[in-house]
Amino acid sequence: MSRFPGRGAEPLVWIAFSGRADLAWQRLLRPGFRHCFAALADQGGWTVVDPLAGRVVVERLGVAPDFDLPAFWRRAGFRVLGPFVPAPPRRSLFALLAPFTCVTVCLRLLGRDDALVLTPRGLYRRLAVLLASSDRKKFLTSTALSA
């Protein structure tokens, strides 16, 4: 899958996971999975969405559109999953009732409403399964076509 979709397409999304605990209660979460945030890639470059405790930071990065932000984050010690194609928008009761956390912001960016995903570790596990199943489908399809 190309990192940058064609014009008019949805941006691709990467989710990054951090072990940093800015708030005391975050230390209760599993080390390495105390916060999550997202990056969206489109033809023009990168936009980072970072839901912090007191505000949400949405910033267009001043880097070249072909800059490999996920690799940069990995070198900085973050776990990064992606790319994901966001699901089409739809109504969800969960979206109205869910607490506003970094996990729910990342889920909304992906167009998902996984009610049982409450922690960054839970989100990581759910997304890793999604990536593995989509990679498996691609592998099976390409194998069937070449046989």
Does residue 82 contact residue 12 with C-beta atoms inside 8 Å?
yes
pLDDT of residue 38: 97
Cβ-based neighbour number of residue 81 at 10 Å: 19
Task: State the pTM of this model.
Answer: 0.80
* pLDDT tens track for 25-81: 565 656 767 889 999 999 999 999 998 767 899 999 999 989 999 999 999 999 999
Residue 2 confidence (pLDDT) above 50:
no
Q: Where are the domains of the chain?
A: 12-146
Q: Coil, strand, or helix at residue 79?
A: strand
Compute the C-alpha angle 123/42/69, nearest 5°: 60
What does the alpha-carbon distance between residue 147 and residue 71 come to, in Å, rounded to a whole number? 34
Cβ-based neighbour number of residue 110 at 10 Å: 21
